[in-house]
A and B are shown apart, each in its own frame.
Chain A
Amino acid sequence: MQGIHLNDVHVHFDHPSGITIAVDGVTQQVPPRSFVSIVGPSGCGKSTLLAVIAGLQPATSGSVDVNGRRVTGPDRDIGVVFQEDSTLPWRNVRENVEFAMQMAGVSKGERAAKAAAAIELVGLKGFEHSYPATLSGGMRQRVALARTLALQPGVVLMDEPFAALDQQTRIFLGAEVRRIWEQTHQTVLFVTHDISEAILLSQQIWVMSYRPGHVIDVIDIDLPDERDASIVSSPRFNELHNRVWASLQKESMRGFQDVETA
């Protein structure tokens, strides 16, 4: 049973004023070697769902299996790229990329070879000895991506990795992630609130509803595998965009009203 299998996952948060249902019964699967995105309005529980798969957040009920193994806690075979800058400012690019492997006890020689390959893959060749302080936000996210990929995890989870970047950098890095995925064909689950980004990158999109969060629509992206940023202007892209937007619109409005009346 390869890939990611979600089986009726619920996540509730208890707090003094009551219970928040963040994830309400999600049963889905990410087929092996495929790229799936979750889109949804802010506060729909998409990041919570990702945290459950990463083993960082226990599910209230239900279960998650990754490549045939039940998720009970964090696992190095599940690579995570965070939204926030997670580079280590006291290590240069090469040392940052080697960090995950170092923690996993990979030998020095193997580390150096894999780090060099990962740095090349994310397009940071020549910056091995730069410290994060001298890099732009987009380059730091490339470092984080290289660190995750160098460990060659069974699945990669990305939690809005480009949300903090400017629009142009986002599009460039999105295209880069697509290019990298075409080379590695790792199983990827990507969380975003940007519809275009989701369509550009994925083979399938799950649309999540506002609280309580569950998957209200699954859309297969039948665009050609070989695609670049120019596909954004194709008619099929627009159709898909409208389809996702129609599903999302209702939900976003509901979330908006909830905030207004709260």
Chain B
Amino acid sequence: MAVRIEPRQEVPAKHLTRPRRARWRPSQGVRSAAASAVLLAVLFVLVQIGVATGALRQTGLPVPTDVVGSTLGLLGTGAFWSDFGRTCLEIGASIAAGCALGFGAGIVFWKLPLLGRVFEPYLVSFYAVPLVLFYPMMIVLVGINAGSIIILSSVMAAIPLALNTRTGLQGIRPVHLKLARTLQCNARQTLFSIAIPAAAPMIVAGMRMAVVYALIGSIAMEFTTAQNGLGYRIRYLYETFDNKTMFAYILVVLILSVVLTVLMALVERVLLRGRR
């Protein structure tokens, strides 16, 4: 007589049959975005009280409700949308180009370890260099336009992703590669069905950094020298002492960064489904 054993159920069965309903927990990204929203709200209230009671000087910090008012006012102006569009174009293009470049470079460095060893020291040291420093050089080469900002921001975004992709691929568990060999996977199958999914947590973490770097790079370079864009506008308003409108633009940039964080959290949820 053969023994028949039911699989051990260490996890409550209801969780397994209805995983979505049973215990839905927002991802880390969503929770941190919610936390920063709450913090912003608290700050908003504190500043409002501070200014109303005279504890804070109005010249330094405008009344938050005024800032919200002027932000809403901005939405009706064509100038705002032109700056906003330009910055979004730069950030979007840098994220796309930076991710493609970094992901590709990471895979190449993994596939060709010699190339990886040659380039890694440069990547690591470039990672620490504020690449914004090269912006004046880019302006000479490309001109004062979105192109020069996109090129540098893409490089800034690509570096952490390239390093993370390579580290993730190098950290694949040997048994997964052995599995690929015993199943006679070809190079394409091994890369797309084993290597990249196995390295996905590191790659996604690299993408999050890439998004942040693209944002910082684009705004910072606009801030330095540009003819439009949100960063440029903030600096212009600062130099013309238009505090209220300047804070309105700062608020827009903050909202933009929160939106990007939330989007990345969603991307992470989709790409890392079922892990942990």
Contact = CB atoms under 8 A, between A and B. Distances in A.
B16 A182 contact: no
Nearest to B8: A136
A54 B182 contact: yes
B191 to A, nearest CB: 13
Interface string A155-190: 000000000000001001001101100100000000
A229 B2 CA distance: 9
Contacts, number: 106
Interface in B191-234: 193-194, 197-198, 200
Contact of B273 (A78, A90, A130): A90
A85 interface: yes
What class of interface size applies to chain B in its complex with A? 35 or more
Interface in A117-138: 123-124, 126-127, 129-136, 138
B1 to A, nearest CB: 6
B182 A78 contact: yes
B200 to A, nearest CB: 7
A91 B274 CA distance: 8
Nearest to B4: A179
A86 B4 CA distance: 24
Contacts of A124: 7
Contacts of B6: 123
B7 A134 contact: no
B5 A176 contact: yes
A136 B10 contact: yes
B65 interface: no
Given A123-B5, A138-B8, A179-B3, A89 B175 contact: no
A78 to B, nearest CB: 7
Contact of B5 (A76, A100, A102, A172): A172
A104 interface: yes
A134 B15 CA distance: 9
A90 B274 contact: yes
Given A56-B182, A226-B1, 17 more contacts: A75-B184, A80-B178, A89-B274, A91-B274, A99-B193, A103-B185, A126-B16, A130-B16, A133-B275, A134-B11, A134-B16, A138-B8, A139-B8, A172-B5, A179-B3, A179-B4, A228-B2
- Top 7 A-B residue pairs of the complex, sorted by shortest distance between their CB atoms: A131-B274, A179-B2, A175-B3, A84-B175, A228-B3, A90-B197, A103-B183
